[in-house]
Structure 1
Amino acid sequence: MSQRAEFSVDKAVFTFPDTEEGPVISHEFVITNTGDAPLVISDYKVSCPCTKAFFSKEPIQPGQTAVIEVTFETKGKYYEQDRTVLLFTNTKKGTDKLRFKVYVIPEGEE
């Protein structure tokens, strides 16, 4: 039986409270390696430069946790936003996802 890293996240989809347009908002996803080999997150991909992910390139050892901070620039974004961060990992699938949602209230609207 080969050893394999397994990706587990504390909350697959995070929903921010309604946010007025303008600020950069962020959330920290807690990742756990539930496999029996070190978990490596090598890169990430997003559909918009308004979303960024920050994480250590250090391997996450079996049973250990790490934090991935995801930021979202709300300026110029309106109403329902549903974003996915695609992480490139050394798991069996090769990719894992983080997802967040936020309702952005346009500037000047209440």
Structure 2
Amino acid sequence: MKKVVLALSTVCLIAFTSCKEDAAQKIDDSKVAAAADRDAASSVYPVLTFNKSEHDFGEIIAKTPVETVFKYTNTGEAPLVITDIKSTCGCTVPQDWSREPLAPGEEGQFTVKFNGSGTNKVSKAITVTANTEKGREVVKITAFVKPDPNAPAQATPLSPVIK
């Protein structure tokens, strides 16, 4: 057993001391500089800044379509690319945004259409997916939906009579 341990120790000693070349000599300084530049550039993100984070339509009559425009600016240091804009339901439709890169300092906008569905206080979130640091930004719309006074009254079901 002592011979096995002694043999393994000798093999490990030879393996660790056999590399005579200095590893620092193999490093290419131009590649290190290029990697540092790449890493610095990868930490620069666009910043999506909205003119408003929430829009309140106030009181609206049920089923009345309304719309608003959200304007945004790229306040970061890299080009902004919006890949998708979605809402929490089909009654809210975001549209008309540019899929082209937006340079730092440039502005853009998108429209949100709401069909007035729901009752009482309604709040909907619109998620903007972009190449920002967080990857997603959220804006909201709210409204107080009142019933249509001209809509026919719905009959309420009568309870059965038990004898």
| TM-score for the superposition, normalised by structure 2 | 0.63
Q: Which position in structure 1 is the counterpart of 2:99?
A: 57
Equivalent residue number for residue 18 of structure 1: 59
Superposition pairs for residues 1-110 of structure 1, below 5 Å?
1-2=40-41, 3-54=44-95, 55-74=97-116, 76-108=117-149
Alpha-carbon contact 1:29-1:68 (below 8 Å) kept: yes
**Aligned length in residues:** 108
* Shift of residue 100, structure 1, vs aligned partner: 1.1
Q: Say what the alpha-carbon RMSD is for the aligned residues.
A: 1.4
Cα offsets for 1:8-34 (capped at 9, x unmatched): 000111111211112211100110100
Q: Which has the larger radius of gyration?
A: 2
Match of 1:59, SS?
A: coil
What letter matches 2:62 in structure 1? E
Q: If each structure's strand is expressed as a fraction of its own residues, which one has the higher value?
A: 1
The AA in structure 2 aligned to 1:17 is G
Listed as ranges, the gaps of 5+ residues in structure 2 are 1-39, 151-163
CA positional deviation for 1:106:
1.1
Letter in 1 for 2:140: R
Unaligned runs of 5+ in 1: none
- Return the structure number with greater helix share: 2
**1 or 2 for the larger relative contact order (CA 8 Å, sep ≥6)?**
1
**TM-score for the superposition, normalised by structure 1:** 0.91
Percentage of identical aligned residues = 28
